[in-house]
């Protein structure tokens, strides 16, 4: 048993670390305190269940290894992984080393400054091994720091066209973080150089330093600098973007315990906002950036404004809600839901809805084309032809028009009007006694599935048509047409329907490949979710998307959404048709 | 006499519509030699398709014949069924134009009189053009009037006709911010003509704004309301669909009383606007600048209206902006003078 080592330079670190811990404990406690009863129960039930283990695994994969970020961008993933996982290794191996040396009674600052206190003792268990392992971990972190520094000045090094812009406060904490590991390297190397000890890294750097520098004079100040820098980083952390490190882990637990974002409870949103590491993966995904040249509405900037309590009503509105950012967010933040929550805060509820007064008919299948469906009569007529041929007993619920599903109003923040409309429509659907509801609009489809609480089957027309073809209820031939398929945001990323439209198109035409498909598909730009984007900008987005869709020179661009069809058609770059039109044409 | 012949210059006019015909007549009158190049088999352009012209309701054929009579001049060489396939600037500020007939014309100046393209109403799918036979465009209605064949889909005289203004004009969604100018008064003219022939047919005009920009147009608009009882509804139709009888059902809002409207009609006429013909190869080869509205851009909208950014290349008529026949004729004469002055400075 060794005596407890101490030097006054450990104080800055100890104070900084204690303040940070105290702050975090208060913060976590306040979050849990403000959750509603339902969420608190979820925490209680989840705490000692398998869900916590699942969360721990997810933390390891996402917060340390950064698996999702690797999938999006390997170099950026490496940068985050080397910093996070390398530091994690330093802490864990250091703690094991320190406690091995002290027989399990090391004060918590001890592993951090281990090399200073134990410069050349190799008598304890695995001492040589610990030295090399610690050097390897330090090297891993340092490699990440180098990439991070280069990225700040040359972002293309990690394959990014844009990186986040920082505030002064973030910059100061960023610099203190960058300094931690070089300071540690030089402090440890100085001590090793003086004692002729150290591993492959600190030993080598140490002997080089010994040969060129007055080590006796600089060793002690280096350890002070290391401790002070750690203190600065820990104190600055809660007020900087690095708060994401302790928050993201908590978020992963919350999500695994089943806590979801609620319109009336801002706590989980606060956790999500703080969890954003500002990696900036969302920036290059955003077509408002790549096609329109907007550089302040992307998710990372929107969250930053919420966090800093800055004006963000413009950012809340200027979003297509296409979900391209959400689908790659490494932290899994519900970006669309947060955006929508903030629209409600800014949109006065003024809209008076018009109702559908059509008398419900007793049928098996209800068909709902939606307001946008009426604006593309070719699609609507094709669906009527298909429904007539199917032999199903159906009711075209909004044949005379005049009814809205409610989602456009919801997206505009008009929640009350939307709810009134939905209740009315829901009753009509229930009155019809139908077992299946078919709609040709993905916007309607999503709201029927998520908000109508209907106890019947809800199908998009691509799903319905696939079923009709599979069961032989309609017979189709193959058209001599090459088709590129455009995934509508609300149908693809929004509702996860990728396979059915492709299966139907494969049956009636030849499917041409498209560079950005499925989860990565581009947005047509016509999104109802963005009421502030000028038409010319929407056109730019549509042209970018059509350029991608026509890469392999299809005869027709097919889609499964009336809004996408209208928006893409405006570019006049290629004919755009709904899948239903192609099926109606191919029907025997 | 010899001197005059030596000073005679060659001008290539591309487009044999009203602007080209009138400019040719003026230039030939000034002693120049003109090639009037028209891709169709006959001169006249869109004017040939019209029944009568606002505001005086003078028959379009009569106006065209008078213009063609003026253009009967030995200095004018009319090249119909001909298209320019290549146009290059050559030495001495001249132009070499190759036609699809294999001719090479060396011109001292080029006049673009290429006119406009009618907006394709099928681009507004919500109105059902090209889907439902009861939905037609304004030129198809004009043809019915010209051929004395105003019929609904069943071949009967329509009980009701709805004319919808601003198709492809003042419409951000199709990328056309500009007003096509002539469609409002055309609708008024056509509405009167329908009522004159079939007083029992109801005629409605759905408009955003009524723009009566020329002399006697406002009077015509008053006449339509007071004498012919044409109904004007402020509000654009949002969608149209056919029922089983082939009738067209429309949805609209009367924005003056703030109420939604549902109506049936035998014919829905889409008053299509004018668009620039951006596929025109000569303009592309010569690099003639276009404005934001895609029509040719004038060197100066006040004092050099008929000049382009390319020296020796001039414009006349609706290739510079939506224009009626009256303004087109005046504009073509102005272009002729501009060319004459330009050639005079150079000799």
**Residues A479 and A460 reside in one and the same domain:** no
CA distance B277 to B320: 10
Kindly state whether residues B33 and B135 are assigned to the same domain. no
The answer to whether residue A161 scores a pLDDT higher than 70 is no
Return the pLDDT at A73. 86
**What average pLDDT does chain A have?**
90
Residue A31 lies in a domain: no
With beta carbons under 8 A apart, name residues in chain A contacting B253. Answer: none
Q: Which of B88, B85, B71 is nearest to B36 (CA)?
A: B71
Q: Give yes or no: residues B38 and B146 share one domain.
A: no
In a shared domain, residues A188 and A72: yes
pLDDT digits (tens, 9 = 90+) for A422-458: 998 899 899 999 999 999 999 999 999 989 999 999 9
The model's confidence at residue A225, banded by pLDDT at 50, 70 and 90, is very high
Of B131, B238, B260, the CB nearest to A377: B131
- Which of B253, B274, B295 is at the close of a domain? B274
Residue A26 lies inside a defined structural domain of this protein: no
Q: What is the pLDDT of residue B3?
A: 42
Mark which of B225, B240, B274 sits at the end of a domain.
B274
CATH, residue B228: 3.50.50.60
List the single residue in A375, A401, A535 with the smallest CB-CB distance to B125. Answer: A375
Q: Is B175 on the interface with A (CB under 8 A)?
A: yes
| Test mutation, B168, B241, B268, chain A, max A CBs within 10 A | B241
Same-domain check for residues B22 and B125: no
Mutate which of B239, B253, B276 to disrupt the A interface (most A C-beta within 10 Å)? B239
Last residue of a domain, one of A197, A214, A244: A244
Task: Print the SS3 string covering A512-548.
Answer: ECCCCCHHHCCCCCCCCCCCCCCHHHHHHHHHHHHHH
HSE, CB side, 13 Å, CA atoms: give it for residue A345. 15
Query: What is the domain range of residue A571?
Result: 475-586
- Backbone φ/ψ region at B130: left (φ over 0), alpha (ψ -120 to 50), beta: left
d(C-alpha B217, C-alpha B55), whole Å: 6
- Residue B132 Cα, gap to closest chain A Cα (Å): 10
Residues A221 and A298 in one domain: no
User: Is residue B215 domain-shared with residue B132, that is, in the same domain?
Assistant: yes
| A455 and A513 together in one domain | no
Of B132, B173, B239, which is closest to A570 when you measure between CB atoms?
B173
Q: Per the CB < 8 Å rule, is B125 touching A570?
A: no
Among A244, A274, A300, the domain boundary falls at A244
pLDDT exceeds cutoff 90 at B186:
yes
> Is residue A383 one of the residues assigned to a domain?
yes
pLDDT tens-digit series, residues A463-477: 999 999 999 999 999
Instruction: Please check whether residue A279 is in contact with residue A155, taking contact to mean a CB–CB distance below 8 angstroms.
Output: no
By DSSP bridging, strand A556-559 and strand A482-485 are parallel
Residues A319 and A370 placed together within one structural domain of the fold: no
Q: How many structural domains comprise chain A?
A: 4
The CATH number of residue A295's host domain is 1.10.1060.10
> Among candidates A296, A343, A334, A372, which has minimal Cα distance to A526?
A372
Q: Would you tell me which residues 383-412 of chain A have a C-beta closer than 8 angstroms to some C-beta of chain B?
A: 401-402
Angle at A470 between CA A466 and CA A471, to 5 degrees: 120
Q: What is the 3-state secondary structure (H, E, C) of A118-138?
A: CCCCCCCCCHHHHHHHHHHHH
A407 in a structural domain: yes
Confidence check: pLDDT of A165 > 70? no
CB A486 within 8 Å of CB A465: no
Inside any domain, residue A32? no
> ipTM above 0.85?
no
> B223 and B134, same structural domain?
yes
CA distance A508 to chain B (A): 22
Same-domain pairing of A265 and A190: no
Same domain, A240 and A128: yes
Q: Are residues A544 and A407 in the same domain?
A: no
A375 with B132: Cβ contact below 8 A: no
The residue among A103, A102, A94, A95 whose CA lies nearest residue A134 is A94
Read off the tokens for A551.
């890469």
Do B145 and B268 share a domain, yes or no? yes
Average pLDDT over residues B157-161: 97
* Claim to verify: residue A106 and residue A175 sit in the same structural domain: yes
Q: Is A96 helix (H, G, I), strand (E, B) or coil?
A: helix
Residue A218 lies in a domain: yes
Q: Is B7 helix (H, G, I), strand (E, B) or coil?
A: helix
Residue A26 burial class via C-beta count within 10 angstroms: exposed 0-12, middle 13-18, buried 19 and up: exposed
Q: What is the pLDDT of residues B278-293, one digit of tens each?
A: 988 899 999 999 999 9
Using one digit for the tens of pLDDT, what is the confidence trace for A533-576? 988 899 999 999 999 999 999 999 999 999 999 999 999 999 99
Q: Which residues of B touch A381 (CB under 8 A)?
A: 131
- Identify the CA nearest to A498 among candidates A524, A483, A517: A517
Asked if A539 reaches chain B (Cβ–Cβ under 8 Å), the answer is: yes
Q: Which of A249-263, B182-196, B289-303 has the lowest mean pLDDT?
A: A249-263
Judge: B125–A402 Cβ closer than 8 Å, yes or no.
no
A377 interfaces chain B, CB cutoff of 8 Å: yes
Task: Please check whether residues A451 and A480 belong to one and the same domain.
Answer: no
pLDDT of res. B6 = 45
Instruction: Say if residue A69 is in the same domain as residue A212.
Output: yes
Domain extent at residue B25: 2-116+276-346
Statement to judge: residues A321 and A231 lie in one domain:
no
Closest approach of chain A CAs to the CA of B199, in angstroms?
A: 31
Ranges A163-167, A523-527, B327-331: which has the least confidence: A163-167
Specify if A279 maps to a domain: yes
- Percent with pLDDT over 70 in chain A: 95
pLDDT tops 70 at residue B1? no
- Split at pLDDT 50, 70, 90, the class of A261 is confident
Strands (E), A32-99: none
List, in sequence order, every beta strand (DSSP E) within A319-410: 365-368, 394-396
Give the separation between CA B65 and CA B44, rounded to whole angstroms: 9
Number of domains in chain B: 2
Asked if B175's CB is within 8 angstroms of A570's CB, the reply is: yes
Which token pair is A550?
């026509």
Query: How many other CB atoms sit within 10 Å of the CB of residue A357?
Result: 10
pLDDT of A339-377, one tens digit each? 988 887 666 666 666 665 677 788 999 999 998 899 999
pLDDT of residue B172: 87
In a domain, A251, yes or no: no
Domain boundary among B222, B255, B274: B274
Examine the domain organization and report whether B326 and B264 are in the same domain.
no
Q: Are A196 and A120 in contact (CB under 8 A)?
A: yes
Per the listing, tokens 């939307």 go with A418
Alpha carbons within 13 angstroms on the beta-carbon side of residue A21 total: 7
Task: Tell me: do B75 and B158 sit in the same domain.
Answer: no
Do residue B129 and residue B95 come from a single domain? no
């Amino acid at each position: 048993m060794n005596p407890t080592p101490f030097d006054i330079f450990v104080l800055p670190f100890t104070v900084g670390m204690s303040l940070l811990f105290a702050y975090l404990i208060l913060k976590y406690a306040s979050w849990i305190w403000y959750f509603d009863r339902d969420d608190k129960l979820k925490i209680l039930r989840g705490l000692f269940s398998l869900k916590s283990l699942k969360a721990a695994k997810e933390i390891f994969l996402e917060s340390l290894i950064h698996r999702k970020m690797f999938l999006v961008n390997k170099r950026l993933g490496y940068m985050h992984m080397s910093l996070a996982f390398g530091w994690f290794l330093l802490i864990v191996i250091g703690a094991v080393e320190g406690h091995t040396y002290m027989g399990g009674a090391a004060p918590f600052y001890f592993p951090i400054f281990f090399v200073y206190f134990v410069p050349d003792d190799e008598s304890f268990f695995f001492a040589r091994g610990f030295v090399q392992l610690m050097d390897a971990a330090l090297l891993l972190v340092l490699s990440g720091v180098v990439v991070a520094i280069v990225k700040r000045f040359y972002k293309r090094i990690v394959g990014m066209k844009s990186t986040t812009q920082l505030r002064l406060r973030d910059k100061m904490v960023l610099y203190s973080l960058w300094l931690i590991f070089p300071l540690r390297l030089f402090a440890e190397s100085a001590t090793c150089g003086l004692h002729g000890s150290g591993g492959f890294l600190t030993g080598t750097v140490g002997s080089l330093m010994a040969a060129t520098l007055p080590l006796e004079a600089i060793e002690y100040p280096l350890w002070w600098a290391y401790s002070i820098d750690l203190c600065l980083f820990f104190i600055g952390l809660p007020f900087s973007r690095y708060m994401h490190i302790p928050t993201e882990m908590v978020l992963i637990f919350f999500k695994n315990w089943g806590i979801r974002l609620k319109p009336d409870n801002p706590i989980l949103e606060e956790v999500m906002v703080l969890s954003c590491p500002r990696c900036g993966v969302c920036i290059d995904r955003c077509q408002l950036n790549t096609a329109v040249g907007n550089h302040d509405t992307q998710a990372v900037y929107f969250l930053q404004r919420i966090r800093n309590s800055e004006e963000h009503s413009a950012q809340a509105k200027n979003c297509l809600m296409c979900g391209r950012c959400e689908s790659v967010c490494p932290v899994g933040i519900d970006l669309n839901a947060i955006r929508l929550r903030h629209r409600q805060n800014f949109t006065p509820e003024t809209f008076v809805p018009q109702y559908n007064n059509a008398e419900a008919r007793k049928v098996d299948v209800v068909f709902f084309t939606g307001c946008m469906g009426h604006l593309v009569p070719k699609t609507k007529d094709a669906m009527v032809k298909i429904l007539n041929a199917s032999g199903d007993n159906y009711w075209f619920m909004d044949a005379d028009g005049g009814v809205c599903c409610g989602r456009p109003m919801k997206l505009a923040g008009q929640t009350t009007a939307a709810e009134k409309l939905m209740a009315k429509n829901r009753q009509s659907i229930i009155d019809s006694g139908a077992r299946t509801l078919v709609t040709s609009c993905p916007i309607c489809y999503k709201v029927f599935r998520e908000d109508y609480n209907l106890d019947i089957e809800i199908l998009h027309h691509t799903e319905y048509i696939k079923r009709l073809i599979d069961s032989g209820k309609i017979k189709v031939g193959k058209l001599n047409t090459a088709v590129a398929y455009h995934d509508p945001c609300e149908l693809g990323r929004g509702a996860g329907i990728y396979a059915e439209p492709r299966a139907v198109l494969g049956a009636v035409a030849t499917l041409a490949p498209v560079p950005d498909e499925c989860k990565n598909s581009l947005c047509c730009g016509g999104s109802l979710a963005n009421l502030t984007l000028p038409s010319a900008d929407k056109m730019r987005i549509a042209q970018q998307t059509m350029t991608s869709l026509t890469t392999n020179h299809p005869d027709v661009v097919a889609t499964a959404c009336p809004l996408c069809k209208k928006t893409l058609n405006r570019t006049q770059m290629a004919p755009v048709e709904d899948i239903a039109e192609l099926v109606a044409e191919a029907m025997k | 006499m010899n001197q005059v012949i030596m000073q005679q210059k060659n001008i290539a006019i591309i487009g044999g519509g009203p602007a080209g015909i009138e400019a040719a007549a003026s230039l030939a009158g000034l002693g120049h030699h003109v090639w009037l190049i028209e891709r169709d088999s006959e001169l006249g352009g869109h004017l040939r398709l019209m029944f009568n012209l606002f505001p005086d309701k003078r028959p379009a054929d009569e106006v065209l014949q008078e213009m063609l009579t003026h253009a009967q001049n030995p200095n004018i060489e009319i090249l119909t069924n001909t298209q320019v396939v290549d146009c290059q600037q050559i030495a001495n500020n001249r132009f070499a134009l190759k036609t699809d007939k294999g001719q090479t014309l060396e011109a001292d100046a080029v006049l673009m009189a290429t006119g406009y393209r009618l907006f394709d109403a099928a681009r507004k799918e919500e109105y059902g053009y090209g889907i439902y036979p009861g939905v037609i465009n304004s030129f198809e209605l004009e043809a019915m009037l010209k051929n004395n064949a105003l019929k609904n889909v069943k071949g009967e005289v329509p009980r009701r006709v709805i004319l919808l203004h601003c198709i492809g004009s003042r419409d951000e969604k199709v990328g056309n911010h500009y007003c096509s100018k002539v469609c409002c008064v055309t609708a008024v003219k056509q509405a009167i003509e329908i009522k004159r022939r079939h007083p029992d047919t109801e005629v409605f005009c759905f408009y955003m704004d009524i723009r009566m920009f020329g002399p006697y147009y406002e009077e015509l608009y008053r006449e339509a309301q007071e004498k012919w009882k044409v109904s004007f509804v402020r509000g654009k139709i949002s969608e149209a669909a056919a029922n089983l009888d082939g009738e067209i059902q429309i949805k609209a809002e009367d924005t003056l009383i703030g109420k939604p409207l549902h109506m049936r009609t035998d014919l829905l006429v889409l008053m299509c606007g004018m668009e620039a013909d951006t596929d025109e190869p000569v303009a592309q080869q010569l690099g003639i600048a276009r404005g934001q509205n895609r029509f040719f851009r004038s060197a100066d909208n006040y004092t050099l209206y008929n000049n382009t950014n390319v020296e020796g290349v001039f414009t006349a008529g609706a290739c510079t902006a939506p224009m009626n026949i009256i303004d087109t004729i005046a504009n073509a004469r102005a272009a002729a003078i501009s060319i004459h002055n330009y050639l005079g400075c150079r000799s």
